[in-house]
Structure 1
Amino acid sequence: MHRNGKADAGVLTTRHAATALLVAAATLLAGCERGSTSDTADAITTGPSGCPEAHARAQAAVKQAEKTDIPWDGPTSGPTAVPGKTIVYVAQTMTNPGVAGAAQGVRNAAAVIGWNVRVIDGGGTPAGIQAAMSEAVTLKPAGIVIGGFDPNSTSQQVSRANAAGIPLIGWHAVATPGPSKKPRLFTNVTTRVDDVSAISARWIIAHSNGHAGVVIITDASILFARSKSELIKKELATCAGVKLLAYENIPIPDASNRTPRQISSLLSRFQGRWTHSAAINDLYFADAAPAFRAAGKPGSGPPFNIGAGDGDPSAFQRINSKQYQAATVPEPLNLQGWQIVDEFNRAFSGRPASGYVAPVHITTAANSHGATSWDPSGYRAAYRKIWGIVGH
């Protein structure tokens, strides 16, 4: 859905050839500078790509990821609903929109299957998360969700839960989806971090025609986030015309305080060389917006900002209104909440994890259709059928 400028296919006359060569030379010198902005805030760049082969691969991948008519490809069979369960969702911090969105998805699915849910907020600090996990284990629920933090940071509490036979399910808890032996998790619900990272970087490559100056923002205290940002950096390096300007570590709990200052400093340092950004979470761009605005940067970019998760409603609003975010790679948060409940139901029934992993998706103003979340079709009906629940 990205529209790049294309050279006229007609044959240039001799009189126009010199002009064309001058334009091409100017384009090369311009490097990362955009030509203009379309309705979808795309950078229209003329001239040769900064990395033809990587650029072609990126364009194909982005086109696929932007599709919205994706049929349900998750489980269609499994155990019927086990009644009367209570599960606890331990949140890294409910100020993280992805963590909060997944929690709401769990609540929504639990209401359908007939379970009780309690959410305990760890507040984003090691001590708070450990206290929340201790409380969760003490409550002796049927299951515990590890919502967005590294289980190794609460190893004692995880061991107590394992010893008590309480199944643990992670949401973005470890770097890969599926069951985990160390730490012992029944399963971990997430998109594949390498897929999310790759498509975020490829969007930048495709969007910039292979000419970009990039800032990456991460939270190195979260294993999942750190892995994601490192993989983004690795994929960007496949394009010679893309330059990594800065790699910023801003812990999510400190984002509201630190992000504006860091953005102002980066704008002063790099000025027009900074054309694109990738952050491991959309919330950074909410905190960055005042600094961009104060510097006189247009909401539609540059810099053109993509969030490599989690696709919360405020990110969609920024994208739809073209206010300092051009794209996101959203997690299907409500779907993942339903998946967590289904995975617990499998655990309670003595069945293995489903193995389902949602495919990556890119949302822009061109394909969001005004929505405020990425909510694929088909999963509600599929899970209701699996659980043996009819009606609405």
Structure 2
Amino acid sequence: MSYHRAAPALAALITVVVTVVGCERGSSTGPGNPSEGVTRAGCPADLAKARSAVRQAEKVDVSWNGPTTGPAALPGRTIVYVAQTMTNPGVAGVAKGLREAARVIGWKVRVIDGQGTPAGIQAALSEAVGIRPSGIVLGGFDPNATSSQLARADAARIPLIGWHAVGSPGPSRHPKLFTNVTTRVGDVAEISADWIIARSGGRAGVVVFTDASIPFARKKSQLIEKQLATCADVRLLATENIPIPDASSRTPQEVSSLLSRFGSRWTYSVAINDLYFADAAPALREAGREGSGPPFNIGAGDGDPSAFQRITSGQFQAATVPEPLTEQGWQIVDEFNRAFAGEPASGYVAPVHVATAANSGGATSWDPPGYREGYRKIWGR
């Protein structure tokens, strides 16, 4: 065969080889460059959108975009924080921020732990109403399960503020809340799913962990599943419903079962709370899985210190969508101050953020800059 006759065939072969190599490199989703390269996934448009959204959410050089005006600090108030369970790191993190802000504004805070059971939460809220405080925080539980206690609080004219109490941020009429402090559940769910789509190059086998007993959590997991479904090559393998109070006892056995059922097809996980991955780690380790390997896990909420530690050390968690827990504790104090002054809620909702080993800098929480100074200026403190 002459050179001139062979050249077109050789050029075609080179083109095929380059194309295949390019696709394989793009499909590789290692920690170094999870959201770059060419992909053969069946959702190119959604993959491009996911990569863009994740890049934006991973930024850490953000400015405070919360309220800049409001009433000056009112003195002598007492706040009771009723916690769904203080074993929930998100609930505990907000309590920490609430106490910090209360010291600055000059208020007292008392925390009552509902122990994670309906009876315990009802008893805790009954105790809180009996104290007759200036305000009560509903920390991470469904207010509809405490209707009689809420009616007593309303009769006593005690303002209520929720944290993750209902599905949306802002004031609520049913149940009656001055405001509900949270990120937008839809934003958290979407960016969590987008991270999986982006990091996997649009090809993943996913397990979702949720707590269907909490309406907020149930809605979040449903929205995650909806967003994952936008990419044809992302497969939802299973949704595991494990109540948060039972996570330490049930998660390890469920993870072992999932490994047996799906094996190497299970490449990603997303949970409505980071704590599931602390409980999953022993079972994954026992099965011989590497801490920095699949399944790659993202927590769709909270971002407690242990989650950041797992992410930094590459131990069975790759990312989290952290709530700015301390900031939200400060926001709750500011919202109560507005309620006491007869002013409306601020309407502020913190934007979503994705924390990874690459952008967290060894931190143990997402603590965005500027809010302490902003609230101090408003309060005159």
TM-score category (smaller protein): over 0.9
CA contact (8 A) 1:38 1:44 kept: no
Q: 1:296 aligns with which of 285, 288, 302?
A: 288
Instruction: Give the SS at the match of 1:179.
Output: strand
Aligned partner of 1:303: which letter?
Answer: P
**Following the alignment from structure 1 to structure 2, what is the Cα–Cα distance between the partners of residues 14 and 100?**
62
Matched, 1:132 2:132: no
Shift of 1:17: 3.6
Q: CA deviation at 1:163?
A: 1.0
Counterpart AA for 2:185: V
Which amino acid letter does the alignment assign opposite residue 344 of structure 2?
A: P
Q: Is the 8 A contact 1:37 1:43 kept in 2?
A: no
Are 1:72 and 2:64 counterparts? yes
**Structure 2 counterpart of 1:188, from 180, 184, 193:** 180
**2-side partners of 1:127 and 1:154: how far apart?**
9
The aligned counterpart of 1:101 is: 93
2:152 aligns with 160
Residue 327 of structure 2 is matched in structure 1 by 335
Deviation at 1:20, TM superposition (A): 4.3
Aligned to 2:84: 92
Residues 45-91 of structure 1: per-residue CA shift (max 9 Å, x gap):
86413310100110111011000011010000000001011110000
Corresponding letter in the other structure for 1:365 = A
Per the alignment, residue 323 of structure 1 pairs with 315
1:113 to 105, 114, 120: 105
Residue by residue over 1:184-219, the C-alpha shift from the partner in whole angstroms, topping out at 9 and shown as x without a partner, is 000000000000000000000101111000000000
Distance 2:36 2:262 in 1: 21
User: CA 1:223/1:146 → structure 2, altered by over 3 Å: closer, same or farther?
Assistant: same
How many angstroms does 1:14 deviate by?
Answer: 3.8
Q: Which runs of 5+ in 1 are unaligned?
A: 1-11
- Shift in Å at residue 44 of structure 1? 8.0
Q: Does 2:372 match 1:383?
A: no
Q: In 2 relative to 1, CA 366–170 (structure 1 residues): closer, same or farther, beyond 3 Å?
A: same
Task: Find the partner of 1:197 among 189, 195, 204.
Answer: 189
Contact 1:212 1:242 in 2 (8 A): yes
Moved over 2 A (4+): 12-25, 33-40, 42-47
- Structure 2 residues not aligned, in runs of 5+: 1-9
Query: In the alignment, which residue of structure 2 is the partner of 1:259?
Result: 251
Distance 1:364 1:300, change over 3 A: same
- Answer yes or no: is 1:16 the counterpart of 2:9: no
**Identical-residue share of aligned pairs (%):** 70
Aligned counterpart, 2:137:
145
Q: Which amino acid aligns with 1:240?
A: A
Q: Secondary structure at the match of 1:225?
A: helix
- Are the aligned partners of 1:212 and 1:241 in contact in 2 as well (CA < 8 Å)? yes
Q: What is the aligned partner in structure 2 of residue 344 from structure 1?
A: 336
Give the aligned partner of residue 221 of structure 2.
Answer: 229
Distance 2:224 2:293 in 1: 20
Instruction: Indicate yes or no: 2:80 matched with 1:82.
Output: no
CA deviation after TM superposition for structure 1 residue 23, in Å: 5.2
Give the TM-score, by structure 2 length.
Answer: 0.94
What secondary structure sits across from 1:186 in the alignment?
Answer: strand
Number of residue equivalences: 372
Deviation of 1:37 after TM superposition, in Å, equals 3.0
Aligned partners of 1:292 and 1:50: how far apart in 2?
Answer: 30
Query: Which residue in 2 is equivalent to 1:311?
Result: 303
**In the alignment, is the contact (CA less than 8 A) between 1:35 and 1:44 conserved in 2?**
no
Quick one: which amino acid aligns to residue 347 of structure 1?
Answer: A
- Which residue pairs with 1:214 in the alignment? 206
How do 1:29-44 residues align onto structure 2 when only pairs under 5 Å count?
A: 35=28, 37-39=30-32, 42=34
1:105–1:337 contact (8 Å) kept in structure 2: yes
| Contact 2:35–2:199, Cα closer than 8 Å, also in 1 | yes
**Partner deviation per Cα, 1:331-350 (whole Å, 9 max, x = no partner):** 00000000000000000100
Report if the CA contact (8 A) 1:34-1:44 is conserved: no
RMSD, aligned α-carbons: 1.8
Q: Do the aligned residues in 2 keep the contact of 1:218 with 1:225 (CA within 8 Å)?
A: yes
Contact 2:27 2:39 in 1 (8 A): no
Q: Which amino acid aligns with 2:133?
A: P
| Counterpart residue identity of residue 100, structure 2 | N
Matched letter for residue 79 of structure 2:
I
Distance in 1 (CA, whole Å) between partners of 2:160 and 2:350 is 20
The residue identity in structure 2 corresponding to 1:37 is G
Could you tell me how far apart the structure 2 residues matched to 1:54 and 1:34 are? 15
Aligned-partner Cα distance in 2 for 1:149–1:74: 25
CA deviation map 1:119-161 (0-9, x unaligned): 0000000000000000000000000000000111101001110
Highest CA radius of gyration, 1 or 2?
A: 2
Q: Check whether the contact 1:35–1:46 (CA below 8 A) recurs between aligned residues.
A: no
CA distance in 2, matches of 1:250, 1:34: 32
